[in-house]
Amino acid sequence: MRDLTSRTRRPKDRPRAGALAPLQGVLPALGRCLPPGRFRLRWLFDGALAAVLGIGAVAAVVLSLWTLSPYPDTGADGALRVAADLWLLGHGTELVRPAAASGGAPVGLTPLLLAALSGWLLYRSARGSLEPDPLAGEPGAEPGEGPRAAFCLTVGYLLVAAAAVAYTLPGELRADPWSAAWHLPLFALACTLAAACATCGIPPAPAWARRLPGPATLRAAARAAVAGTGAYCAAGAALAALALACHARAAGDSFGRLGSGWSGWSGWCDLGGLALLVLALLPNAAVWAVAYALGPGFSLGVHGAVGPLDVRGEPALPDFPLLAALPEGTPGGAPAWVALALVPAAGVGVTAWRAGREAPAGRLPAAGTALLAACGAGAFLGALAALSGGPLGGAELAGFGPEGRSTALAVAAWTAALGAPLALLLRLLPTPRPRPLGALRARLRRPAPRLDPEAERWHTTAARHSRWAALKKSSGTLVPDFPDFPDVTDLTGPLGLPETGGAGEAGDLGPGGSRDPAGGPPHPGVPGQDPPPGR
């Protein structure tokens, strides 16, 4: 049978005349770039399945709210279009309301929680399709097939996304096809390439890039950048939660004003939908807090901006609970500045620690890894900042959120300026010795020694029968009758018990028996031990 992992080169097509002549060199090259048919279809299906699962997860929540609402405005078709709109919005695609008087009111603020859900589903689907399946007998992808697999997975994902875009066009809120044409491929390629690199490894670099840092340094820098990005986001989430706690009354009043006209079961359903919307936008608030703490700040419409050193304009903001926690001016007092300083401290500290730990041996590699990690963390947070903002309408609401480029530069500058010296300092420090608890845990994990085979025979059924028979014979009527046992005189070995005489006769019970000093019957004791006194 032909090996599934083998790769054959397709023969070159014969030249053809006519309209297809310009494609004679393109089609064979495209065929060589694609994997065999079986894996190609599998990867296409896995990419499409990830998109279907993402749409299904959003549709389940939307249909639940639509079902519980006693007075739905539209039918199930409208609810499904809203679910498709939200799923596309989670990829950065702008939504447009064509019925607006100005010709279209765009909505482009991406809920990062929906983006994280879609990215995680696509990443896990890509890794599952690239890893070997022992149960089905499917081999995994070869080390050099990562880019091809990512391309096939992206194509399958985009087929379902294109159908979702077409499905939203007749609705009141539709997806912008031009925005979807470049947001969706970039999102899908980023997720599939990350999964391919994690599963198949980084492909070999071309000749012109061999002077760049090696794969070990790049992997260490990537891990440090991911860890630093997570630390920045976690610190930003803590800062946003602190701001919400300080403005809890204003956020509660916003909930009350938005729900003033609701009553009964319908009011509870609408409040639940509002709470889910706030939950989906909480990661956006964390990224906005990071941009605010590092200096660039974020914009509030066309004429408004908020930063730690300057607050410009007084835009007319929509009534929303998260917007009620916005700072009204520059931080006042030492506690506010300390809270802001915790964000760069957390990001720089974690990035430097991971860079110093993951970098190859040497002092300069640690600093170089920290610099590369700073660039990576800046790129990650810049992309998150650009994705977390966007328009909420026309005119004054045309721009909300941090700017991607300024946020990326701020993160890279903070992390490079403080992270590289800190990583070098951590590398100079002596390596800590293992803790006593770790040594104790290592000793406890050692396998127990095997028992001696001669000692194991002491616990066999035949040896127990022999001991009970000897005890019954030597103790008279103190022990009740037992069922007949096999002849104990046939047992041989160190635990065998030959026939013994009556009371007072000399008999040898072997290494497991002994005689009472008073001339009593023999005592079946433990091998190598004297009988207890008084027997």
pLDDT digits (tens, 9 = 90+) for 173-212: 889 999 999 999 999 999 999 888 888 777 666 666 566 6
Sign of the CA dihedral with 493 first, then 495, 499, and 500 last: positive
Instruction: Please tell me the predicted confidence (pLDDT) of residue 85.
Output: 93
Q: How many CB atoms lie within 10 A of CB 477?
A: 7
| Mean predicted confidence (pLDDT) in 505-521 | 44
Strands (E), 172-273: 174-175
Q: Are the beta carbons of 475 and 523 closer than 8 angstroms? A: no
- Please compute, for residue 326, the number of CA atoms within 13 A of its CA located in the half-sphere on the CB side: 24
- Return the C-alpha torsion angle 71, 73, 74, 80, nearest 10: -90
Show the tokens assigned to 204: 């070999």
Q: What is the mean pLDDT of residues 517-532?
A: 46
Q: What is the mean pLDDT of residues 343-366?
A: 83
- At residue 238, what is the residue type? A
Q: Which of 44-53, 68-77, 113-122 has the lowest mean pLDDT?
A: 68-77
Please check the confidence at residue 28 and state whether its pLDDT lies above 50: no
Whether the pLDDT of residue 495 is over 60: the answer is: no
Higher-confidence residue: 326 or 14? 326
pLDDT of 161: 95
Please return the burial class of 307, using the count of CB atoms within 10 Å of its CB with bins 0-12, 13-18 and 19+: middle
The pLDDT tens digits of the residues spanning 242-287 come to 988 888 888 888 877 776 555 555 666 777 788 888 899 999 999 9
The H-or-E segment that residue 515 falls in is strand 513-515
- Phi first, then psi, for residue 75 (nearest 5°) are -85, -170
Mean pLDDT of 371-394: 90
Angle 112-130/76-89 helices, nearest 10 degrees?
80
Query: What CA–CA distance (Å, rounded) separates 410 from 292?
Result: 10
Of residues 148 and 34, more confidently modeled: 148
What's the CA gap between 428 and 523, in Å, rounded? 71
Q: Of 96-100, 264-268, 311-315, which has the strongest mean pLDDT?
A: 311-315
The average pLDDT across 35-63 equals 84
The per-residue pLDDT for 376 is: 93
- Contact status, residue 132 vs residue 174, Cβ threshold 8 Å: no
More confidently predicted of 271 and 486: 271
Residue 169: pLDDT over 70: yes
Residue 440 neighbours by CB distance under 10 Å: 10
* Phi, psi (rounded to 5 degrees) for 83: -65, -45
Query: Amino acid identity of 20?
Result: L
- Structure-model confidence comparison of residues 86 and 461, the more confident one: 86
Residue-wise pLDDT for 139-167, tens only, equals 666 767 778 888 989 999 999 999 999 99
Q: Which tokens hold the place of 401?
A: 């959120």
Specify the pLDDT at position 120.
94
> What 3-state class would DSSP assign to 397?
helix
Half-sphere exposure of 189 (CA within 13 A, CB side): 9
Residues listed for the chain: 535
Banded pLDDT at 513 (limits 50, 70, 90): very low
Residue 477 pLDDT more than 80?
A: no
Predicted local confidence at residue 186, as pLDDT: 94
- Reduce the DSSP state of residue 439 to 3 states and report it: helix
Encoding tokens for residue 129?
A: 């399709």
Alpha carbon distance 387, 56 (integer Å): 23
Q: Note the pLDDT of residue 486.
A: 56
Average confidence score pLDDT of the chain: 76
Q: Which pair of tokens denotes residue 334?
A: 């030492």
Who has greater pLDDT, 158 or 395? 158
Mean pLDDT of 388-402: 81
- Judged against a pLDDT cut of 60, whether residue 102 lies above it is answered with no
Mean pLDDT for the stretch of residues 229-252: 91
What integer pLDDT is reported at residue 132 of this predicted model? Answer: 72
Q: Which residue has the tokens 């194509």?
A: 155
pLDDT at 336: 86
Q: What predicted TM-score, i.e. pTM, was given to this entire model?
A: 0.70
Q: Which helix (H) or strand (E) holds 427?
A: helix 404-428
